Chain A
Amino acid sequence: MSTKSQSIDRKSQDERLRRVSKLKKLLNRPELGALGGSILVFIFFGIIAGDSGMFSAYGTLNFLEVSSNLGIIAIGAAMLMIGGEFDLSVGSMIGFAGICIAIPAIYWGWPLWSSILFAFSMAVLIGYANGILVVRTGLPSFIVTLAMLFILRGATLALTRLITGRTQVPGLRVLIENDPIAWIFSADVFSGLFVWLGSLGLIALRQDGTPLATGVPTSVIWWIGLTIFATWILMKTRYGNWIFASGGDKLGARNVGVPVARVKISLFIGTAVCATIYACVQVLDAGSADTMRGFLKELEAIVAAVVGGCLLTGGYGSAIGAAFGALIFGTVSMGIYYTDVDTDWFKVFLGAMMLIAVIFNNFVRRRVTENK
């Protein structure tokens, strides 16, 4: 009798223990800070700018588009940072990929799809170069990719001026329409849905009766898709385990059989490919390439990844966190126009956000790694 009640007691106690540890586990998730931050940002703008049109269909798509652009490169940056490295050449890669699309298509008469493929192959090549240099020389990736930042931006400018005599390459818009793959980066998705919502009077219309928000930009789909893909890789695959291991302790990882060099090189290719997706989205949307496109974007991507919970020292972080980091960034950078606050303050916010995130991450790391 007494033993029975004891065992029941035990059981209920065990269940309580488990619940506590689940909560603790949640507190230890890297993306927690960015998730909380996103909620705070939405509450803030909900109160301050709730009736200003920021959260209308048009306004929402606006800040989602800005977030998604950054999100695309932030995912790559986050994966690389978890793998223990940085890539400062992302912004320059965006500019370079842009002219790799525009110059062959406009000056050399290549079909648009082939110049897009050309840009992606250049990205693989440059990512590989970054990776092999870091792995072979053992130099910090900070230095190697900083050099690449200047080399790529300089080459972009010099080549564009040499071939076109200018720093911008317009005229792509006409080529998009009949291209078999350009729509992957430039179409509006669910536009039928938006027409329907407009006809019901649920969203704002233009004077000609078409909805103001014409559809979800493909960049948003890319952003969500890449986040899911990266999360799947990190959590569910062998390669994901290798990424964490390579960033956490590269010698230890190598000693137990992880191909650390291969993992790191592939992650550098990943950031360059993400930069090229970003370039495709922007260049095809604007219809022109600009040699300065992507300027400073590498830093914004790193901010988003860090706000999303990635440790600067590697081995810890998440793709979902980086996606939320980008969402915070995009929401604030657009939302600030709907408030009375001078937009000059945006960068102040950005810096403060990053500082808070780093302090918070440090605290999380200590919780995770220190003995009870």
Chain B
Amino acid sequence: MNTDTIVEFNNISKFFGSVIALKNVTMHVKKGEIMCLLGDNGAGKSTLIKTLSGVHKPNEGEIIVEGKKTTFDSPRDALDLGIATVYQDLALVSLMSVTRNFFMGREPMKGFGLFKVFDIEKANAVAAERMGQIGIDVRDPSQAVGTMSGGERQCLAISRAIYFGAKVLILDEPTSALGVHQASVVLKYIVKAASEGLGVILITHNVHHAYPVGDRFTILNRGKSMGTYPKKDLSREKLLSMMAGGEELDKLEVELKEMDRISKFNN
């Protein structure tokens, strides 16, 4: 595999009791590209990225980061390797302030030895600046996250991940809760992050969000990979039909025709 590859997944399987959430999934992401992971609800997308961000341990298969086989005991291990994730449930604490959420787990410090303290002034400044870049004007970074709208929270989680994601940025359905305008702002921001050299894994079930920004597309269906395709080999229509929804719609059409024929016959 080429040297630009940052992260590789080889034959990953994950079981929850008797549920096979993932079976032999293989995937990789390169520097500066956006790899889209598509699939219907329940396909196993969130489970797949949770194994890459250290939340779950895979039952089978290996994770290779920059050529080295790696296991993650906690999300902290993945973060330490520069893999940052925006989870579908965002991992924000609504009772805590914007700043305290932004730096949760990675607080900037000042001072020496025993008297090292959380540098809240610096943290406030960075949080406000980063939120500003993604188009959210935070007047008071000490306000609780609970007072923010869904879109603002999404942007907070995204700018936090970009700030800490040194190498790989994983986004789980980042646009699903957003309006059209906010979604395009977020997508532009993701493209910018990739152009700066990050490897991005973008998860969505919205083909219209994935197709314009993606370089390669991996389709997941009921825990299995249906393959990875570069954009040039894939039209928007083909991508649509490859997702479980597409196939089913085709089948639905056939069934409807059949029903039509039968009812005509009966009459």
The reply to whether A237 and B95 contact each other, CB–CB distance below 8 Å, is no
Chain B CB within 8 A of A256 CB = yes
Residues of A within 8 A of B95 (CB): 244, 248, 311, 315-316, 365, 368-369
The reply to whether A244 and B55 contact each other, CB–CB distance below 8 Å, is no
Chain A CB within 8 A of B234 CB = no
A254: nearest chain-B partner, CB-CB: B75
Interface of B: prevailing SS: loop
The reply to whether B147 and A369 contact each other, CB–CB distance below 8 Å, is yes
Residues of A within 8 A of B53 (CB): 255
Chain A CB within 8 A of B185 CB = no
The reply to whether A255 and B100 contact each other, CB–CB distance below 8 Å, is no
The reply to whether A315 and B93 contact each other, CB–CB distance below 8 Å, is yes
Chain B CB within 8 A of A206 CB = no
Residues of B within 8 A of A252 (CB): 87, 89-93
Chain B CB within 8 A of A9 CB = no
The reply to whether B103 and A371 contact each other, CB–CB distance below 8 Å, is no
Chain A CB within 8 A of B59 CB = no
Chain B CB within 8 A of A347 CB = no
The reply to whether B91 and A240 contact each other, CB–CB distance below 8 Å, is no
User: Which of A241, A259, A372 lies in contact with B107, CB distance below 8 A?
Assistant: A241
B91: nearest chain-A partner, CB-CB: A252
Residues of B within 8 A of A251 (CB): 89, 91
User: Which of B91, B116, B142 lies in contact with A253, CB distance below 8 A?
Assistant: B91
Q: Shortest distance in angstroms between B9's beta carbon and chain A's nearest beta carbon?
A: 19
Chain A CB within 8 A of B109 CB = yes
User: Which of B79, B92, B117, B120 lies in contact with A249, CB distance below 8 A?
Assistant: B92
Interface string of A223-256 (1 = CB under 8 A from B): 0000000000000111011101100110111111
The reply to whether A249 and B100 contact each other, CB–CB distance below 8 Å, is no
Interchain CA distance A256-B90 in the complex, whole Å: 10
Q: Shortest distance in angstroms between B169's beta carbon and chain A's nearest beta carbon?
A: 14
Interchain CA distance A372-B152 in the complex, whole Å: 13
Chain B CB within 8 A of A277 CB = no
Residues of B within 8 A of A316 (CB): 95
Interchain CA distance A256-B92 in the complex, whole Å: 9
The reply to whether B55 and A255 contact each other, CB–CB distance below 8 Å, is yes
The reply to whether A256 and B75 contact each other, CB–CB distance below 8 Å, is yes
The reply to whether B79 and A257 contact each other, CB–CB distance below 8 Å, is yes
The reply to whether B96 and A255 contact each other, CB–CB distance below 8 Å, is no
Chain B CB within 8 A of A199 CB = no
The reply to whether B104 and A256 contact each other, CB–CB distance below 8 Å, is yes
Contact residue range for chain B?
35 or more
Chain B CB within 8 A of A340 CB = no
Interchain CA distance A4-B148 in the complex, whole Å: 34
Interface of A: prevailing SS: helix
Q: Shortest distance in angstroms between A262's beta carbon and chain B's nearest beta carbon?
A: 10
Interface string of A327-348 (1 = CB under 8 A from B): 0000000000000000000000
Q: Which of A20-37 contact B (CB under 8 A)?
A: 21, 25, 28
The reply to whether B147 and A21 contact each other, CB–CB distance below 8 Å, is no
Residues of A within 8 A of B230 (CB): none
The reply to whether A25 and B142 contact each other, CB–CB distance below 8 Å, is yes
Interchain CA distance A238-B94 in the complex, whole Å: 18
Interchain CA distance A252-B118 in the complex, whole Å: 20
A259: nearest chain-B partner, CB-CB: B76
Interchain CA distance A21-B139 in the complex, whole Å: 11
The reply to whether A245 and B144 contact each other, CB–CB distance below 8 Å, is no
Chain B CB within 8 A of A258 CB = yes
Residues of A within 8 A of B146 (CB): 368-371
Residues of B within 8 A of A369 (CB): 94-95, 144, 146-147
The reply to whether B104 and A241 contact each other, CB–CB distance below 8 Å, is yes
Q: Shortest distance in angstroms between A364's beta carbon and chain B's nearest beta carbon?
A: 10
The reply to whether A368 and B117 contact each other, CB–CB distance below 8 Å, is no
A241-B100, A257-B106 as given contacts; A370 in contact with B93, CB under 8 Å: no
Chain A CB within 8 A of B140 CB = yes
A240-B118, A369-B94 as given contacts; A258 in contact with B147, CB under 8 Å: no
16 interchain pairs, CB-CB under 8 A:
A21-B140, A238-B107, A238-B116, A241-B100, A241-B103, A245-B93, A245-B104, A248-B95, A249-B91, A253-B93, A255-B75, A255-B85, A257-B76, A315-B93, A365-B95, A370-B146
A residues neighboring B (CB under 8 Å): 21, 25, 28, 236-238, 240-242, 244-245, 248-249, 251-259, 311, 315-316, 365, 368-372
Q: Known A-B contacts: A248-B95, A252-B87, A252-B93. Give 10 more (CB < 8 A).
A: A25-B142, A238-B118, A240-B118, A241-B96, A241-B100, A242-B104, A244-B93, A248-B93, A249-B94, A255-B87
4 nearest A-B residue pairs (beta carbon): A369-B146, A248-B93, A257-B105, A252-B91
